Chain A
Amino acid sequence: MDKKIPTGAEVIIQCLIREGVEYVFGYPGGAAIPLFDALVDAPQIKLVLVRHEQGATHMADGYARATGKPGVVLVTSGPGATNTVTGILTAQMDSAPLIVLCGQTISPMLGKDAFQEADVTGITYPVVKHSYLVKDGNDLPRIMKEAFYIATTGRPGPVLLDLPKDITGGPCNAPFVDEVDLPGYEIPSMPDRADLQKAAALIAKSRKPLLYIGHGAVISGAGKVVTQLAEKLGSPVVNTLLGKGAMPEDHVLHMGMLGMHGTAYANKAVMNCDLIFSIGARWDDRIIGKISEFCPNATKIHLDIDPAEFGKIIQPDVSLVGDAKRGIEALLPLVRKLESADWIKECSAWRKQYPLRYGKQGGLKAQMVLDELDKLTRGKAIVTTDVGQHQMWAAQFIRSTFPRSWISSGGAGTMGFGFPAAIGAQLGVPDKPVWAIVGDGGFQMTLCELATAALQRVPLKILIINNNYLGMVRQWQELFFDNRYSGVDMVGNPDFVKLAEAYGVKAWRIRRNGDVKRILKQAMAYNDGPCLIEAEVVKEDNVFPMVPAGAGYKDMLIERPKQKMAKPTGST
């Protein structure tokens, strides 16, 4: 008897197995049925059935960021595919490797407005690292190999496959491939030797050095060597929102997060350094503020795997193209200890003078809840966040001590990200506690995934910082728009405890300071699936320090300003 010719869908699933995929986050539909059918015969791959396709993308993203392995999404055509767009943007902005498999109408119907047809390849061009509209089943093994290769190498990112149903349902005769041939795709690995020497020479002259580390340091696994570099030079370190965890934030040389809501002492260090060395960060507008006022007198060195980042915002004195880990490894033997003792003292003085603080009186403060959580988890947990005030407070008060322990939507600022990302992270890293810190606004954007979390029995903890406002926008309206609140009152919020219980999820509510530690501990001890804590915090509190958008660091607000503020000039 002839060997049965496999279908395209079967080949795709076999390729997933060959790539070591454990989980597929998906939601079916007509055009994706062949792929879901092929999953029946692949027990190695666990299908996580979500409740909305956006949730699937964030779960895959959280999985990818927590594990370093690509996250796989499987959805149907049309609305199923378009629902992934926000998640794809989120992954692209933060360099997270995703494989997004979208069903599509049959090839002869492409472009004919077939039922549930959307030109998802066209819709997603600007937000993918790469994409394929597959027209020949025999291309599948090659395309699958390329997709994983592109998603996970260089600067990682999302790759989308648009898969017509006649291709997934039809035969595929081509053999599996192990090599890729992509003449247009170059992966920088090691910075140029001469550039490294130039950088070392500039570093040798510095007396007030500062390392500024970003997500690239986490992605490349550069944390240890960055710490070695900081210790060898005697250089303080600041990190971006997504650089949290690359180097332990409780390290003596660590100054916390810089930027719009960074610590005042980190920002003081930025204002006063004579050399700033960016390692896997991209001088984002929430870091830089006013470009002309950003460290104008400091020498700037920029190490990045993506050459398009050089000079995009800031023109560095030396550009080092390559992987952060390999670049720092190569730089280490070229540098020696700097005469930076005075500078480190200066930085320590700022740390003492401008500590993070919050009012202990006047109701339950989000900062206090997060501070307590930090004391209880002691850097041992993976923390995901949503977007807004709670995210900034969490970034300030939760110290990340190991790589891939901080998962947050940085570039895209996607509300609704935090909770599904935590599900993916917990599935990927089952042996670590996972906390999803979310706001009442963002949580409601993807809360349907409570069903998914309950079904998967992931023991993650959801901490809702509920101020019944869209707090960050309210803060801007208070500070810059004369208290003219518009569209920020979350009146109509549900009873989150009852809501959780409706999904069979254990839940608590915190209303008083005295309840915080007790309930957090109860949640930590709870291991029978997910649980939820709603912390009802004071309604009107602001995140400080704050560098208003588009302003220079000298205009940083450490507390609520007495005078009326001008409207910010920066975009967001």
Chain B
Amino acid sequence: MSTQTASHTISVLVANKPGVLVRVALVFARRGYNIDSLVVSTQQDSDFSRMTITSSGDPGTLDQIIKQLFKLVDVVRAIDHTGDQVIEKELALVKVKCPPENRTQVLEIVEHFKGVTVDFGAESLILQISGGSDKIDHVLGLLSSYGVVEMVRSGKILMARGASTT
């Protein structure tokens, strides 16, 4: 079995029932797999929820994880979208130390990456950045030299392009 590890994004459609999150998490935990990010949201039909999970590990084990997820009674679908044509987005809120002398530079970065300034304080700004996870990583790298006070990321969400089902 391959030992290479890669990040995978798995979309799981589940019945909206208590305990379903634990059941899903246990499939990963039992095999010693960490969930890197997890987004849960309800669907138009409130009987169902969508989980978008990113995890990394060897492909054989992840394949087994997806099959075991699919086996859960409360899981309707579990699809590994790695390598598929998908739209991936994530949102980050970043509180940056920003005394007046740095403002112009920080705002230039925000503008360049089509971010939004959502809070303007005397000594700090809160910036909202959205887009692919790589882009957010990159922006955070640029902002780190100014001093990131706090940061929250939503976790990745994803949707299959065109006629494909997520």
A contact residues vs B (CB 8 Å cutoff):
121-122, 125-126, 129-131, 133, 135, 150, 182-185, 306-308, 310-312
Query: Digit string of B70-81 for contact with A (CB within 8 Å is 1, else 0)?
Result: 111111100000
Which residues on the A side are within 8 Å of B14 (C-beta)?
Answer: 184
Report B-chain residues with C-beta under 8 Å of the C-beta of A182.
73
Does the CB pair B67–A308 fall under 8 Å?
Answer: yes
CA distance A133 to B14 in the complex (A): 17
Contact A122 B73 (CB under 8 A): no
For B2-23 the 0/1 string (1 means CB < 8 A from A) is 0000000000001100110011
**Contacting residue for B15 out of A121, A129, A184, CB 8 A:** A184
A126–B72 CA distance with the chains assembled, in angstroms: 11
- CB distance B19 to A307 under 8 Å? no
Across the interface, which residues of A come within 8 angstroms of B30, CB to CB? 126
Q: B63 — nearest CB in chain A belongs to which residue?
A: A311
- List, in ascending order, chain A residues with CB within 8 A of B23's CB: 125
A182 to B63, CA, bound (A): 24
Interface residues of B in 128-154 (CB under 8 A from A): none
Contacts of B74 in A (CB 8 A): 130, 184
A sample of 6 inter-chain contacts (CB < 8 A) reads A125-B19, A130-B73, A133-B19, A182-B73, A184-B74, A308-B64
B116 an interface residue at 8 Å Cβ cutoff?
A: no
Residue of A whose beta carbon sits closest to that of B25: A125
Given A126-B26, A126-B30, A308-B64 in contact, is the A184-B75 Cβ separation under 8 Å? yes
Known contacts being A122-B22, A125-B19, A125-B23, is A312 close to B75, with CB within 8 Å?
Answer: no
In angstroms, Cα B18 to Cα A122, docked, is 11
Complex-state Cα separation, A133 to B67, whole angstroms = 25
A184 touches B63 (CB 8 A): no
Whether A184 lies near B73 (C-beta < 8 A) is: yes
In the complex, what distance in Å separates the CA atom of A312 from the CA atom of B67?
A: 10
Q: Which residues of B contact A135 (CB under 8 A)?
A: 18
**Residues on the A chain within 8 Å of B76, using CB:** 183-184
Min CB gap A285→B, angstroms:
14
In the complex, whether B34 has a CB less than 8 A from a CB of chain A is no
Min CB–CB distance A416 → chain B (angstroms): 24
- Docked Cα-Cα span, A126 to B24, in Å, equals 10
Interface: B68 (CB within 8 A): yes
Q: Which 3 A/B pairs are nearest by Cβ-Cβ distance?
A: A308-B67, A184-B76, A130-B73
Most buried by B among A126, A135, A308: A308
Whether A125 pairs with B71 at a CB distance below 8 angstroms is no
Contact A306 B71 (CB under 8 A): yes
**Shortest CB distance A79–B (Å):** 22
Contacting residues, chain B, for A306 (C-beta < 8 A): 71
Q: Which residue of A lies closest to B76 (CB)?
A: A184
Kindly provide the distance from the CB of A136 to the nearest chain B CB, expressed in whole angstroms: 12
CA–CA, A312 and B60, complex, Å? 8
In whole Å, how far is B117's beta carbon from the nearest beta carbon of chain A?
42
Q: How far, in angstroms, from A129 to B75 measured CA to CA in the complex? A: 13
Residues of chain B within 8 A of A307, CB atoms compared: 67, 70
- Contact yes or no, B70 A308, CB < 8 A: yes
Provide the bound-state CA to CA distance between A182 and B30, in Å.
25
A312 touches B64 (CB 8 A): yes
15 more CB-based (< 8 A) A-B contacts, given A184-B73, A308-B70, A312-B67? A125-B19, A125-B22, A125-B23, A125-B26, A126-B30, A150-B73, A184-B14, A185-B73, A306-B71, A308-B64, A308-B68, A310-B67, A311-B60, A311-B64, A312-B64
Cα A307 to Cα B71 with chains together (Å): 9
Chain B 25-49 per-residue mask, 1 if CB under 8 angstroms from chain A, else 0: 0100010000000000000000000
Q: Which residue of B lies closest to A185 (CB)?
A: B73
Instruction: Please report the C-alpha to C-alpha distance between residue A245 and residue B75 in the assembled complex, in whole angstroms.
Output: 35
Chain B residue nearest to A291 (CB atoms) is: B1
> Chain B contacts of A310 at CB under 8 A?
67
Determine which of B19, B60, B71 lies in contact with A121 in the assembled complex, contact meaning CB atoms within 8 Å: B19
Chain A nearest CB from B79 CB (Å) reads 14
Contacts of A126 in B (CB 8 A): 26, 30
> How many angstroms between the C-alpha atoms of A443 and B71 in the bound complex?
35
B22 contacts across to A, CB distance below 8 A: 122, 125
Complex formed: what's the CA distance from A412 to B31 in Å?
A: 18
Q: How far is the CB of A86 from chain B (nearest CB, A)?
A: 18
Residues in B neighbouring A184, C-beta threshold 8 A: 14-15, 72-76
Chain A residues lying within 8 Å of B60, measured Cβ to Cβ, are 311
Q: How far is the CA of A122 from the CA of B23 in the complex (A)?
A: 9
Instruction: Tell me the complex Cα distance, A307–B14, Å.
Output: 19
| Identity of the chain A residue whose Cβ is nearest the Cβ of B60 in the assembled complex | A311
Among residues of A, the one whose C-beta sits closest to the C-beta of B47 is A183
How far does the Cβ of A226 sit from chain B's closest Cβ, in whole Å? Answer: 25
Give every chain A residue within 8 A of B64 (Cβ-Cβ): 308, 311-312
By a CB distance below 8 angstroms, the chain A residues around B71 are: 306, 308
The smallest C-beta distance from A468 to any residue of chain B, in angstroms, reads 37
Expressed in whole angstroms, the Cα–Cα distance for A150 and B74 within the complex equals 12
Against A, the Cβ 8 Å flags (1 = close, 0 = not) of B54-72 are 0000001001100110111
**A129 to B68 Cα, complex, angstroms:** 11
Tell me how far the C-beta of A475 lies from the nearest C-beta in chain B, rounded to whole angstroms.
30
Interface contact B73-A129, CB-CB below 8 Å: yes
Q: What is the minimal beta-carbon distance from B80 to any residue of chain A, in angstroms?
A: 14
The distance in angstroms between the C-alpha atoms of A185 and B75, with both chains bound, is 8
Q: How far is B72's CA from A125's CA once the two chains are assembled, in angstroms?
A: 11
Chain A residues within an 8 Å CB radius of B70: 307-308
